[in-house]
Amino acid sequence: MLIREILDVITEGKFIMPELRKDPVLGRWVIISTERGKRPLSNGKFDMERKGGFCPFCGGNESHTPSEVLAYRSDGSAKDTQGWTLRVVPNKYPALQIEGALSREGEGIYDRMSGVGAHEVILESPDHDMTLAKMAEKDIENVFWAYRDRVLDLKKDKRFKYILIFKNEGEAAGASLEHTHSQLIALPIVPKRTSEMIAGAKAYFNYKERCVYCDIIQQEKDEGTRIIEENNHFIALAPFASRFPFESIILPKQHSAFFEEGQKQQFEQLARVLKSVLSKMDRALEIPPYNMMIHTSPFYENTAEHFHWHIEIIPKLTSLAGFEWGTGFYINPVPPEEAAQFLRQP
Amino acid sequence: MLIREILDVITEGKFIMPELRKDPVLGRWVIISTERGKRPLSNGKFDMERKGGFCPFCGGNESHTPSEVLAYRSDGSAKDTQGWTLRVVPNKYPALQIEGALSREGEGIYDRMSGVGAHEVILESPDHDMTLAKMAEKDIENVFWAYRDRVLDLKKDKRFKYILIFKNEGEAAGASLEHTHSQLIALPIVPKRTSEMIAGAKAYFNYKERCVYCDIIQQEKDEGTRIIEENNHFIALAPFASRFPFESIILPKQHSAFFEEGQKQQFEQLARVLKSVLSKMDRALEIPPYNMMIHTSPFYENTAEHFHWHIEIIPKLTSLAGFEWGTGFYINPVPPEEAAQFLRQP
């Protein structure tokens, strides 16, 4: 039985408000959201295939998504009509609800919070056959501008503390629609992994009075073995302690804690380095599914000196999976030096 | 291209010593082990199916595994021959190497350690058609005795600080062989998630002077909505902040930090509760793949008062996956109260 069928039984068609719950031992927040489970993700089939070729994300099908919150249109076309090159819409099956006050409550030893947040979809192209790797650099740059525009807008809402920007490419990476898109989730909490990253970077800074990511960049440039790609503003690396085969990170060379403070010239070069890394992945790994995410600073923490924003890309190679999911402990069969070399080869 | 094929190119057939590497920001250790990637896991096929029906884990095929380190034999049969009811062998494709001294070295800002450890496979039954859920309670109990026997033996080796005991059931959960088995990995480090769990439990203890898990059991018994199964010695719950649909944990009611200190009567009842939970999962979720692991104390930490060992079971439901892998942030579409109710129904 599919999760979706189970949910139909469980919820009896009723709407259940999403909520955030905190693990009392690990301090990790989790979103419990039945709406999310109702999205039409079938057993091993993209929605599009099931529906005989119809895709709600294609240009011309604007009426099949919620109304857009942002669109780039160079032809002066009207809102929610064809003519856009990039479009941002609320997620039809959101993990969180945008309306409502942020309430917290205890329940004995447990903590919960109302599931208030934004969940948006960035349609990167109107063309169904496009992928981020294949897009023109200029169009990839626009994806970053759209991320930035949405972050700056959502930052005004004082209920939110963090925005998670991520992309699931391919069904095995969790995408329910084939058409190229990314997502953002604005959260009233800071995810545990983000907090840990910032705490780790801060501890290093307190000890060394230097940014750990800046030191990583320096050492990687000296060694050279884990560099995948580089330009004036960015460096792409296979991390020293990679958890997954062909995992990579893209770091700005100039220290900066906030993705959204990126400058025009930076985004141009970011688009270039990302296209290059994704193209290398597509070539070497035969167009793998992947997860991409932006690690940036929470809004209300003074991270300027010690945190350094970056992008993480994890190809999901189907012949490997398993207990890492449950245990949080990773075994990686591909040394990052070898992964970088394999990706670098022309 | 499969990881295995890529590894053949990368390693050129040479053996590369596994090593442990530490993430300089998050402090998380990762095993880099090319041998592990060489196991005959094909693209979407269990090894057995590929080999036309031959299974090295079946009774009678003892010569196709490394020599046993433990076996339960009631018929007086000889080592590495047929007649066993349970058998433990070193993993043929180990993540770590048992031989060698434990050496640590720095490399600029990075830390690495020789990949010394034990990686063993527990063959739970000689019968290829058996599953843990279908096994007799007595045989399941023997699996726990085997875990315990191996832990007590490996604990004597002072290079090891922690033993991870886990089971991947089904291909989607990471199993490369269909025949029912579990694994253990003895590590020279304590995994990050274990450390975090212990630190969280300690912080709670310092504040309340009570074990957080004992308090969870008390509150869950009072509320009742998240209980899946219960007997005198154990309780199975859908955790309040479940990350995954139908995630469950089994806790001993009597406070104890170490799995391996379990008593005879406890293991009998543990076998009973585990069989019941797995059977409910098989019935409600149509024999899902799953990961199971034992969370127990590291060897050399004084956790007696604040830590409480337990078993975690995570069904891997294929219609859900995705960005959680990369982000460490979880969206769960099935409220644990509903999951528990769904599993409880006869």
Touching check for A257 and chain B: CB below 8 Å? no
Mean of the per-residue pLDDT values of chain B: 91
For residue A199, give the amino acid letter. Answer: A
Whether the predicted pLDDT of A43 surpasses 50: no
Whether the predicted pLDDT of A146 surpasses 90: yes
pLDDT for the residue B341? 94
Out of A9, A212, A314, whose CB is closest to B24? A212
pLDDT for the residue B319? 55
Touching check for A329 and chain B: CB below 8 Å? yes
Whether the predicted pLDDT of B34 surpasses 90: no
Touching check for B322 and chain A: CB below 8 Å? yes
Q: Average pLDDT of B85-110?
A: 93
Q: Average pLDDT of A191-217?
A: 96
Using CB atoms within 10 Å of the CB of residue A156, give its burial: 0 to 12 exposed, 13 to 18 middle, 19+ buried: exposed
Name residues whose C-beta falls within 8 Å of residue A189's C-beta, 6 or more positions apart in sequence.
A20, A29, A113, A161, A162
Query: Residue B106 and residue B111: Cα distance in Å, rounded?
Result: 5
pLDDT for the residue A16? 81
Per the CB < 8 Å rule, is B326 touching A312?
A: yes
Name residues whose C-beta falls within 8 Å of residue A244's C-beta, 6 or more positions apart in sequence.
A314, A315, A317, A320, A330, A332
Per the CB < 8 Å rule, is A30 touching B243?
A: yes
Touching check for A76 and chain B: CB below 8 Å? no
Touching check for A332 and chain B: CB below 8 Å? yes
Per the CB < 8 Å rule, is B213 touching A25?
A: yes
Per the CB < 8 Å rule, is B331 touching A42?
A: no
Report residue B51's pLDDT band, with 50, 70 and 90 as the boundaries. low
For residue A24, the chain B residues in CB contact (below 8 A) are: 200, 204, 212, 216, 240-241
Whether the predicted pLDDT of B91 surpasses 50: yes
- Residues A255-279 pLDDT 10s: 999 999 988 889 999 999 999 999 9
Q: Average pLDDT of A280-290?
A: 94
Q: Average pLDDT of A84-103?
A: 93
- Residues B231-280 pLDDT 10s: 999 999 999 999 999 999 999 999 999 999 988 889 999 999 999 999 99
- Residues B132-141 pLDDT 10s: 999 999 999 9
Q: Average pLDDT of A154-158?
A: 96
Cβ-count burial B242-257 (b if 16+ within 10 Å, e if not): bbbbbbbbbbbbebbb
Report residue A44's pLDDT band, with 50, 70 and 90 as the boundaries. very low
Of B185-194, B205-214, B303-312, the least confident: B185-194
Residues 264-303 on A with a CB inside 8 Å of B are 284-286, 291-293
Q: How far is A285 from chain B (nearest CA, A)?
A: 6
pLDDT for the residue B321? 54
Q: Which of A181, A295, A308, A310 is catalytic?
A: A181
Decide which of B227 and B9 is more confident: B227
Touching check for A174 and chain B: CB below 8 Å? yes
Of A87-91, A292-296, B24-28, B315-319, the least confident: B315-319
Per the CB < 8 Å rule, is B342 touching A6?
A: yes
pLDDT for the residue A312? 96
Per the CB < 8 Å rule, is B331 touching A41?
A: no
Touching check for B15 and chain A: CB below 8 Å? no
Residue of B nearest to A205 (CA): B25
Residue A290: strand, helix, or coil: strand
Out of A26, A174, A319, whose CB is closest to B41? A319
Q: How far is B204 from chain A (nearest CA, A)?
A: 8
Residues 21-60 on B with a CB inside 8 Å of A are 21-38, 41-44
Q: How many residues in chain A?
A: 346
Cβ-count burial B44-82 (b if 16+ within 10 Å, e if not): eebbbeeeeeebbbbbeebeebeebbbbebeeeeeeeee
Mean of the per-residue pLDDT values of chain A: 91
User: Which residues make beta-bridge pairs with A12?
Assistant: none
Mutant choice from B23, B187, B285, B331 vs A, greatest count of A C-beta within 10 A = B331
Touching check for A175 and chain B: CB below 8 Å? yes
Comparing CA positions, the residue from B71, B43, B53, B41 lying closest to residue B128 is: B53
- Which residues of B form the catalytic set? 181
Per the CB < 8 Å rule, is B321 touching A192?
A: no
pLDDT for the residue B318? 62
pLDDT for the residue B52? 59
Mutant choice from B197, B329, B334, B342 vs A, greatest count of A C-beta within 10 A = B329
pLDDT for the residue B12? 79
pLDDT for the residue A173? 83
Decide which of A51 and B141 is more confident: B141
Per the CB < 8 Å rule, is A41 touching B109?
A: no
Per the CB < 8 Å rule, is A191 touching B7?
A: no
pLDDT for the residue A249? 98
Residue A127: strand, helix, or coil: coil
pLDDT for the residue B50? 47
Decide which of A243 and A10 is more confident: A243
Out of B6, B293, B333, whose CB is closest to A36? B333
Residue of B nearest to A174 (CA): B322
Whether the predicted pLDDT of A224 surpasses 70: yes
Q: ipTM score of the complex?
A: 0.92
Q: How far is B122 from chain A (nearest CA, A)?
A: 16
Q: Average pLDDT of A125-144?
A: 97
Residue B96 half-sphere exposure toward CB, CA atoms < 13 A: 31
Strand A330-332 relative to strand B29-32, pairing: parallel
Residue A292 CA, chain-centre distance (Å), reads 5
pLDDT for the residue B87? 98
Q: How far is B168 from chain A (nearest CA, A)?
A: 6
Percent pLDDT > 70 in chain B is 93
Decide which of A95 and B229 is more confident: B229
Whether the predicted pLDDT of B198 surpasses 50: yes
Touching check for B64 and chain A: CB below 8 Å? no
Per the CB < 8 Å rule, is A241 touching B24?
A: yes
Of A63-67, A314-318, B220-224, B337-341, the least confident: A314-318
Mutant choice from A29, A30, A47 vs B, greatest count of B C-beta within 10 A = A30
Per the CB < 8 Å rule, is A26 touching B197?
A: yes
Per the CB < 8 Å rule, is A10 touching B330?
A: no
What are the structure tokens assigned to B44, written together? 């979407």
Structural domains in chain B plus CATH codes: 15-189 (3.30.428.10), 193-344 (3.30.428.10)
Whether the predicted pLDDT of B314 surpasses 50: yes
Whether the predicted pLDDT of B42 surpasses 50: no
Per the CB < 8 Å rule, is A204 touching B1?
A: no
- Residue recorded with tokens 């989730």: A185
